C-alpha cells in the first residue's frame, strides 16, 4: 500500500496537465468493423462509416487461413488509409510455429499490435515470438487471470500493450494493481472491453490522470449499449466523460 500511495503522490504535480482528457474525451478504437464473419464488402462499408464517425483506429480479426488473413488485412489497410492505426486480433488461434510465420507476414501492413497470437498461458511462447518479430508489438491480457501472471509477462519484456479486463480479473482492485505494475514496467494499458466499456471508460481516465499511464485509446464495442441506464457515449471517435455517479453499469 505504501508503494501505491507513493506512486499516486508522485503524479500529483503533473496531474493538471492530464485533466484535459475529461473535456476532450478519451479516444476509442473500433473493433466492430472487423469481425471474422464479415466479408470484404461488409468491412469496407463499416470502416467507411466509422471513419465518417471520427474513428482513426480499427481492429481486425485474423486467425484463419494465411491467404484469407492477408487478404483481409490488405483490404483494411487500403480502406482505412496509411494514416489510420490498425491492429490484428488472432484470439489465440495459432500455435507458436504458425504465429511466427503469419505475424511476420502481417507486419507488412504496419499494425500497431498483434493481439493474442497464441495460448495466454504460454508466456515463453510469447517471449520467443516477440523477440523474432520485433519491432512488431504483441498485445494480450483479456484471458490473463491475475496480477501474478501479468507480472510474469511484464518481466519477460514481451508485451507491448497490456489488456486487463476488470470483469475477468475479479474486480477493479485487481485491475488497478495490474495498471500499477504496467506503469512500473513502462507498458501502456489498453483494457479489453468486450461489451463492458461501461466500466473501463472510468478506469482509463483514472489510469491516465491519477497514475500517469499514457493516453492510448479504448476499445469500442456498442452491442449492449441499449441494456444500460447510462450507456457509454462515443462521439467523434472519443468516449465522452460520464457525468452520472457510479460505474455506468446500472441495467434497465
Q: Which residues are catalytic?
A: 61, 192
Beta 238-239 vs 57-61: how paired, if at all? unpaired
Residue in 174, 132, 128, 181 with CA at minimum distance from that of residue 152: 181
Residue 129 in grid coordinates: 515470438
Residue in 158, 212, 163, 156 with CA at minimum distance from that of residue 184: 212
> Which H/E stretch holds residue 48?
helix 40-52
Q: How far is residue 75's CA from residue 146's CA, in Å, rounded to a whole number?
A: 36
> Which H/E stretch holds residue 182?
helix 172-185
Residue 167 in grid coordinates: 470483469
Angle between helices 2-11 and 172-185 (to 10 degrees): 70
Residue in 119, 173, 127, 181 with CA at minimum distance from that of residue 150: 181
Amino acid at each position: 500500500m505504501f508503494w501505491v500511495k507513493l506512486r499516486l503522490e508522485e503524479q500529483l504535480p503533473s496531474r493538471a496537465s492530464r485533466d484535459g482528457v475529461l473535456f476532450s474525451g478519451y479516444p476509442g478504437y473500433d473493433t466492430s468493423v472487423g469481425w471474422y464473419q464479415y466479408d470484404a464488402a461488409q468491412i469496407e462499408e463499416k470502416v467507411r462509416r466509422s471513419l465518417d464517425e471520427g474513428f482513426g483506429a480499427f481492429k481486425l480479426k485474423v486467425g484463419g487461413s494465411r491467404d484469407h488473413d492477408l487478404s483481409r488485412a490488405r483490404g483494411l489497410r487500403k480502406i482505412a488509409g496509411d494514416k489510420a492505426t490498425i491492429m490484428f486480433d488472432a484470439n489465440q488461434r495459432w500455435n507458436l510455429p504458425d504465429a511466427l510465420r503469419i505475424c511476420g507476414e502481417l507486419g507488412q501492413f504496419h499494425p500497431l499490435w498483434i493481439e493474442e497470437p497464441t495460448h495466454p498461458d504460454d508466456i515463453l511462447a510469447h517471449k520467443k515470438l516477440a523477440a523474432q518479430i520485433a519491432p512488431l508489438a504483441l498485445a494480450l491480457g483479456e484471458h490473463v487471470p491475475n496480477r501474478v501472471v501479468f507480472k510474469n509477462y511484464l518481466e519477460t519484456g514481451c508485451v507491448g500493450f497490456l489488456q486487463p479486463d476488470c470483469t475477468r480479473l475479479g474486480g477493479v482492485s485487481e485491475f488497478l494493481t495490474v495498471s500499477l505494475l504496467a506503469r512500473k514496467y513502462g507498458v501502456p494499458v489498453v483494457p479489453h472491453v468486450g461489451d463492458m466499456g461501461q466500466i473501463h471508460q472510468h478506469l482509463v481516465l483514472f489510469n491516465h490522470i491519477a497514475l500517469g499511464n499514457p493516453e492510448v485509446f479504448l476499445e469500442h464495442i456498442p452491442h449492449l449499449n441499449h441494456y444500460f441506464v447510462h450507456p457509454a457515449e462515443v462521439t467523434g471517435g472519443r468516449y465522452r466523460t460520464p457525468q452520472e455517479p457510479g460505474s455506468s453499469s446500472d441495467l434497465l
